[in-house]
Structure 1
């Protein structure tokens, strides 16, 4: 099964990148974790996202489209980065996330969501 693994945003991650020694050490640990995922054949893709100030939203209302410039409120509801994994089941995904280094310099959350497959839609 494929899952999307979201690193949830926080007040720190929704600011522009500042390469402090602590951040660089955290990135190194995350890079080693990504290497483990690749070696296990689980990692399909991954990346970090720029802060919401660099983003845009498009709101749909019937035929109308409205562009909303970032930054967006409720930063804890936003996504700071993602992985796309191929795992046996949700339990395997949870086990891998538990091994992950903390992606933030303070408390953080990672969300795991299964991706619809064609068989799910029949």
Structure 2
């Protein structure tokens, strides 16, 4: 099963804690364990929300753009991993081992990816084939 693990932090702390050499060393050890176990497919940190934007479509279809920082955000996504695990329980066990920053509250949210077969009962075979062709083309482009 493939899962997205989002590293969430308190939006109010976003600019208060800068990355340190010690933080990187601890995370490097953890990431190396994930890679050695064959679990980690991708993992990256994200810049603060002040470097980003939100595209919002309201119920009437109106589109607006909100530039960061997102002061109203209670939680921000600070980074993520994509893991290949045997079960949600395995992902939880790995997440429990993740180092944390002293004095900063963080949450790891784990969400499984949909698989094509999850849609087989609600989507026609033709649409699934077209979607699979897009996925295959994307994989080919990425090498």
Q: Which residue of 2 aligns with 1:57?
A: 54
Q: Which residue of 1 aligns with 2:102?
A: 105
Residues 22-75 of structure 1 deviation map (CA, whole Å, 9 limit, x = unaligned)? x22121111111011011110010111111111100111355321111111344
SS in structure 2 opposite 1:116?
A: coil
Structure with the bigger RCO (C-alpha within 8 Å, sep 6+) is: 1
Q: Which residue of 2 aligns with 1:96?
A: 94
Which runs of 5 or more residues in structure 2 are unaligned?
Answer: 121-143
For residue 66 of structure 2, the aligned residue among 65, 68, 77 is: 68
For residue 23 of structure 2, the aligned residue among 22, 26, 41 is: 26
Instruction: Point out the structure with max Rg over C-alpha.
Output: 2
**RMSD of equivalent CA atoms:** 1.8
Aligned length: 117
Shift of 1:18: 3.4
TM-score (norm 2): 0.74
Q: Which residue of 1 aligns with 2:9?
A: 9
Which runs of 5 or more residues in structure 1 are unaligned?
Answer: none
TM-score (norm 1): 0.85
Residues 71-105 of structure 1 deviation map (CA, whole Å, 9 limit, x = unaligned)? 11344322011000000000000010111111x23
For residue 44 of structure 1, the aligned residue among 25, 41, 58 is: 41
